[in-house]
Structures are given as structure tokens and as C-alpha cells.
Amino acid sequence: MAITTAELADAVDTFAGRIHAAKEELTTLDSAIGDADHGINMDRGMSAVREILRELRQGDPGALFTQTGMKLISTVGGASGPLYGTFFLRLGTSLGETPEVTPRRLAEALRAGLEGVKARGKAELGDKTMVDAMTPAVEAFEAGADGDLTTALAAAATAAAGGRDRVTPVVARKGRASYLGERSAGHQDPGATSTTILFESLRDALAVTG
Ligand code: ADP
Ligand code: MG
């Protein structure tokens, strides 16, 4: 039932691999409503995280996620570095030395991560940012955390994609995309897209555990 640090490290590795695969797609999305670097930023950061994962998978989840967050902050430029960095740092602080992470503990940690992103970036639901994918994903996972882990992870990934798609038609109110005003409407948000990839990675890497 509980998730080990090694399994969480595998999930981070899955995320890194999928970000690498989606690098062009994320950068193309960011070229429409930003400065065409989201894929490059995220791939640089997650590639750097990958290099320290082998060591981190031996430790506790607090160290795994704290080091992941610090690596992202130090290697990723732009808005997304500090935001994803904060997300993982909060996960690390929340989980600490917990040897085996239950779905409920993971839900609490994800909630702490989301609140950290909101505090750092000051984005609200509907502003067309990563928060729009992260919020429904965390809520869906919280709702299912006392049941089957695989089902809860699937619900979270589906909710993230739903949130990402919901804000595609709207005008951005935070980040670079907001500089475009009305012209940002109709474009899929890069950060909401990478956050959806994060929850899909958690689903696919951790579901087998459940
Ligand atoms: P930058 O915008 O500095 O070039 P990135 O391109 O790496 O950084 O990331 C852009 C993404 O960051 C956006 O698509 C959006 O989802 C997210 N973002 C930007 N500003 C905020 C914010 N204040 N709060 C939450 N997410 C944000
Ligand atoms: Mg950018």
C-alpha cells in the first residue's frame, strides 16, 4: 500500500524522461504565448535532477524532493524554475523522513506543494497557469486517497488534463502570456501542459505499486 522512496524516485525519473520527450512540444506552446523556452527550461532542470536521482533513491522522500526542488531552482531560468522548485521543496518538507508514504500522506504533500506554488506565483484558478492543472489534480487525488491508489492517480491525471484544457480558451492573467492580453486566448498553456505531464508520470510510475 505504501510507496517507497525508490518508487518516488522512479516517478521523478519518469517525469524527467517525459519532459525530455515533450521538450519541442512545450517550447512550441511557449513560442505562441511566451518566449519559447518552457521545454528547454524544464528539460535542463529535469536532466540535472536525473543525475542525482540514483543517490537520492537510497534516502528518504524529504531529501529526494528537497534536492529535486533545489536543483530546479538552481538550473531552470524563468518563472517555472522557482515555481516547480517550490512545489518539490514543499513536498520534501511535508514528507520529511517518512519511510513509507501512504496515499493520504502523498495527498497532504501534494496539497502543500500546490499551496507553495500559489503563494510564490500569486496565481489564482482561471489565470491560465500551471495552477489550473495542479489544483484539480490535487483535489482529485485528495478525494481518492483513502481508496485504490491506481484509481486516485488516474483521476488526478485526468483532472490535470481537464484543467489544462479548460483554460485554453481564456485570456492569461499571470506570467508572460498575460502581456499578450486577448491574443493569449485559444492557446494551450505550457506550464499547465508540463503539470499534466507530471501527474501522468505519477500515474504511470506509481500505479503498478498500488
Ligand atoms: P517564463 O514565462 O519565465 O519564460 P517558462 O516559459 O519556463 O517561464 O514557464 C511558463 C509557464 O509558467 C506558464 O505557461 C505558466 O503556466 C507558468 N507561470 C507563469 N507565471 C506563473 C505564476 N505567477 N504562477 C503560476 N504559474 C505561472
Ligand atoms: Mg517561457
Among 161, 164, 163, 191, smallest CA distance to 34 is for: 191
34 Cα: distance to centroid of ligand 2 (angstroms)? 5
pLDDT digits (tens, 9 = 90+) for 140-185: 999 999 999 999 999 999 999 999 999 999 999 999 999 999 999 9
CA pair distance 43, 12, nearest whole angstrom: 13
What is the number of the ligand closest to the CA of 78?
A: 1
Which residues are in the CB-under-5-Å shell of ion ligand 2?
A: 30, 34-35, 37-38
pLDDT of residue 120: 97
Average pLDDT, the chain: 96
Whether pTM exceeds 0.85:
yes
Please list the residues that pair with 101 across neighbouring strands: 3
3-state secondary structure of 110: helix
Assign a CATH topology to domain 5-209.
1.25.40
Closest residue to atom 4 of ligand 1, CA basis: 78
CA distance 88 to 84: 6
Helix (H, G, I), strand (E, B) or coil at 151: helix
Residue pLDDT, tens place only, 100-148: 899 999 999 999 999 999 999 999 999 999 999 999 999 999 999 999 9
Confidence of residue 210 (pLDDT cuts 50, 70, 90): very low
Residue extents of the structural domains in the chain: 5-209
Banded pLDDT at 49 (limits 50, 70, 90): very high
* Distant-in-sequence, close-in-space partners of 92: CB < 8 Å, separation ≥ 6: 61, 62, 63, 64, 65, 66, 67, 68, 69
Beta carbons within 8 Å of 72's beta carbon, 6+ residues apart: 45, 46, 48, 49, 81, 84, 85, 88
Ligand 1 in contact with 37 (CB < 6 A)? yes
List Cβ neighbours of 4 (8 Å cut-off, separation of 6 or more): 99, 100, 101
Burial 108-118 (b: 16+ CB within 10 A, else e): bbbbbbbebbb
Evaluate if residue 208 carries a pLDDT over 80: no
